[in-house]
Structures are given as C-alpha cells and as structure tokens.
Structure 1
C-alpha cells in the first residue's frame, strides 16, 4: 500500500486495531490488518466522497463516519455494503474529531463535545463552555464504561474524564504542567495515558480514582511531539510514536498477564534482586529534591523500533495477542524492504504486534508491522 502525501488527508485504526481507515482527496479506503500481521487486505475503496479529513470505522461493521473538507461541520454516516448514506448531522462549528464505540458516537468541536446514542444518533448530552481544544484532542473507552478524556485547560495538562453512560464528570486529573499533546484510554476504561507538549514524559493513571500508576521517560531528546499513544488490548503494554523516528513500547508490570514458560524461571531467580533495587530506589527518593525524585522513579521503554524516515505524522496500534509459530531466524534484504523473524521458545508464543502508519511530506506513505516486543520480530516495508 502506498500513496502520495498530497493524496492522503487522514488515517486511523479502528477501536480494536483490526482495520485501518484512510481518508483521501478522492474518497476513502478501508484495510483489514487482522488476518495476517504482515498483510493489508483491502475491505472497501470509495471514490465518491471528496477530501475526506476524518474517517472512522466501527469495529468490523459496514458503518463508516465521514467528515469532508468541503463540509467540515457535517458528519455523514455511510453504509458501504449498502452503498448509501444513512444520515447527515450538522454542528455549529467545524468537527475536529469523531470517536465511536458500540454505544456512543462522540463529536468533538473546538469548544464543545456532543454525545450521541449510536443506535438512534440522538444527541443525549452536550459538554459546553469547555476549554478551547483546537487540536480536537479526545479519547473514548469501550461501551462498558464509555468514558471520554479531553483537555480541561488550554494552558496546562489538566484532563477531565466524563462518563457518557451516566452523563456526569467522573474525574479531573492534573496530568502535566504543560498543555496536553496526546491522550489514550484502554479498552476497559480503567487506564488513561497522557503526554504533554514537551513530549519527554508519558504518564498512566488509574480510573476512576485518578491515581498515577506509572511514569515513563520517552527518550533522551529534550523535547518531542507525541503523535500517538495506544494500549494493547489486554492493557499490558503501551506504545507511542512521535516526530522522531523511534516507536517506544512500555510495559505495564502490575497488570501484565502471566509470564510465558520461557521467562518464568529467570523471573523467579531475579525477584529478590529486583525487590532490593526497588526498595533502595523508593527509599532514596525520600531524601532527594522532588525533581530528582521524579527522575529516579521514571522508567524507560523496554523495547523500541526505528522507522525508516522522519514522518510528519504517525499513528500506532497494539493488536490483540497473536501466535507466532516456532521458526528459525531468517533475513531477506532488498532495495526497499527488510523482513526479519526470530525463533520463538516453548513452541507457539503469545506476542503483541505493533502496527504503525506514517508519512512524510516528501515520501510515500508507509505501513509497518513491528512485531513481538518479547521476541524481537521486526517486519516493515
């Protein structure tokens, strides 16, 4: 899959990272990324809509929500299997973002958020008089909790959590000193990841309590622009992409699933050592200035992947667990591609797969699969 940068206007993964939606100057395209981790399978290609600046695909259904550059205040619901428009909805200002799950459609404007029932598209609530949100920064969890997270301030990193089921504010969190750059909610709606405009620190909070659980240092660069944050489906990993060439993967240890047989014995052997290191780290923070204490407690990514070129935008997704068969290492190189697989221990191994879409003003759009952080699989083209 490739297209010119001028032709591509937007790109998003769906809620469970099984499909990729691409908005173009002459329509939109849907691709399946679930059948095989290294393949993109075309689902649908539309050439009717023009200048599609927002496109959102509802899970594996035939419903797609579209906003065009010609009509930025109109939301169109398209059923691509029937080839018909199911409805058009108008708003008082330009639509900056659209999020949806099985119960809600969320439409974000610069100074208001509109909550719709997805079955009837009736507007059930409007969040008004909110802080200016010119980037349309918003995140939505699954239908069970249906939380939305959005900036509560245009100058600081305050985040409001709104319960779209009970229609009330669930929590307000002072996430960063600087204004927000990225937000992500996990599928269960009990974890929130945030990054500020400085881009050096990523924080994870528990919901609805608002307690800070983790703080990660993205890299050595003083400042970076975070483009995308994404949790894995089981909430054991968090990945990020930015205007640098590096995709970072962070492990969320307290909520990780049971470790595989390949790592159990080594983990048991190192538990004593790790607990002592953690103890001394926590103790030392009480005797250090607050800034030094925060730095000491920050963890770095346990896995990274490097993109082929600097991109003007990138979006990442962590898929459901896939199974990688046991195979020996192989390396095939050509002028434009490189494929690398790594032997998996203990038979078939569960692995998370990172999918990244990115583009640059002077290069074609590319799609990469950055495979198992545990096994080091890296496939890109």
Structure 2
C-alpha cells in the first residue's frame, strides 16, 4: 500500500526544530511505511536530521523562509501563509504532495489556513477541533468542538456528532461509540433549543449511523468512562477542556506538595510511587497529544505547543492512523448513509424558525 507522506511544520511549538524532528523520528519507528516532508528552515532541519538517520532516509526537506508566531492573529497568518512553514505544510496537503499536515504552532492560525486552503467536505459546514481525553473507562474520550467554532446551531452539532463517531471508531476500535451532547443536565427538557433539536435529529437517525446516541451528559461526567464522544460548541468545549486540564494539574501539584510536607509523607510517597507514576502517566498531556481538525478535505493535526518529543510523536502517529484508516472516506460514507442533506437541513431550518419566525 502506497501511503501518502506526512508534512510536518518543523518550526512550530515552543522548542522548535529539535523536538519536532525528534518526534517525527519516534513516529517513523512506529509507522515505518510513511515518508515525511519536513517544512521550515532548511539548515536547521538538516542539522537536526543528522541525529536521526532513519527519518533522514525517509524525508524530504522543504525550505520555508518565514514562521508564524503564537502572537500572530489568524488574519495576519493568512496573508503570510505562502511563505511560512505552517502555510506551506498545509499547502502540501492541498496540492496532493502530502496526505496530512502536523503543526504545533498557533491554533487559530492553523485553523484559518487549513479551512481556506482545504475547504470543508461536502455536507459539512464547519470543521471542528477534536481531541482525546483520558477517562476511567477502557478507552479515551473524543471531545469536539474544542474552540474552532464559538457559536454552533443544531446542524453543526449533528455534523460534529457524525464526524466524532467516525474518528472514535478509528482510534478506539469501537464499532458503535456512545455519543452524548454536553449539556447542563441529562434530562430531555434541559439545555438550549439547538441542543434539544440536535438530540431529536440524532435519535431519529440512530439506526442509520454507526454510533449509539445516548442523549446528554454533564461536564463532571465526561471523563467517567460512560461516553466515547462528547459533542458541544467550541466555546463550551474549550472551557470544559481547560477545566479538565487545570484540575489534572491541580491534583498533581497537590499530591506533590502533600508528599513533600513531612518525613512521614515522603516515606508514604516511596511506598505509593508505582501508583503515583501511573497517575502521572495517565494525566500527562503528551500521552494524549494530537487534536484533529475534522471536516476538512485533508487531515490536519494540531500538537500542543509545549509538547515534548513523545508528544509530537503521538500527534504524528494520530495523522498516520487517520491516513491508514481513511477518516475522510468514513465521514463521507456516514453522511451518505443518513441522507445528510435532508437531515441536516431540517436541523438548520428548526434553528431559524425559533430565532426569527416561531410557529
């Protein structure tokens, strides 16, 4: 099988070329059928490649004279996209020179560049940012949208559910992932009109989709292990994600402080170290790195800016997995299965009626 190569924005992230190249080299060991296009400052990339002969043999370097900083606004990034490492990596996907792009750079800039260059799939209005979160269950949770769209109507939420379920089937191996809408309660009468309408539409299409739609979930339950795909708008999703990440850091810092408080606590730490190391591994964002812009005509993966080499490798591995399993085609098939135009049109019309012309 001749797999498309992966374009890596080597200049993205807080550390830059060294970590991005090292991460790509780690990912290459896991997915040795893939080749890479490393985009950025050519002298720096080639110097870093000298330490990774396996990656060097499978890579081409594309020089980019410019980079996008974390402070650049999306509009500024769009104007400079053609000369930046991020823009050129995404453009390689557009031109068919790569099947996926991976960047640890500015999220807003990456979203804007990717949407303009790749456009959305037929039947999808807006791309959504989806990521993996750890749970108490047997597999990770897919959550979307995490910030790409601050305001979403029922049609968008239905689309996100379909895309999130397709993504979940790939990364978790579940045939029928459990899908829930994030809400302020689990009762059918709770939430906004758009949430209620999206739930109605998903229930009606449940027998045609490879998912199990189970209504609503609350934010305090998303990591309990009883949901595989949590769907929400980007505003609520980003707040929920930051709250989960902040709580994880709080717990880790609290444990560290408690274990250092006395000699008895230090002894207790030594006794419980295997358990605390397991907790640390589970909560480490590098082990769940790699958010995906779902709904584009191509695969784009966002790595944490602060990710280490292991984190970057996981983000690249996500891109490789999605190419191997043909995520785009799976979303196409699911949309066709439910007759998405009619289903999603009714969701949008319902939203408009309530906004301006109530019956």
- Normalization by structure 1: what TM-score? 0.29
Q: Give 1 or 2: higher helix fraction.
A: 2
Larger RCO (CA within 8 A; separation ≥ 6):
2
Q: Give 1 or 2: higher strand fraction.
A: 1
- Normalization by structure 2: what TM-score? 0.30
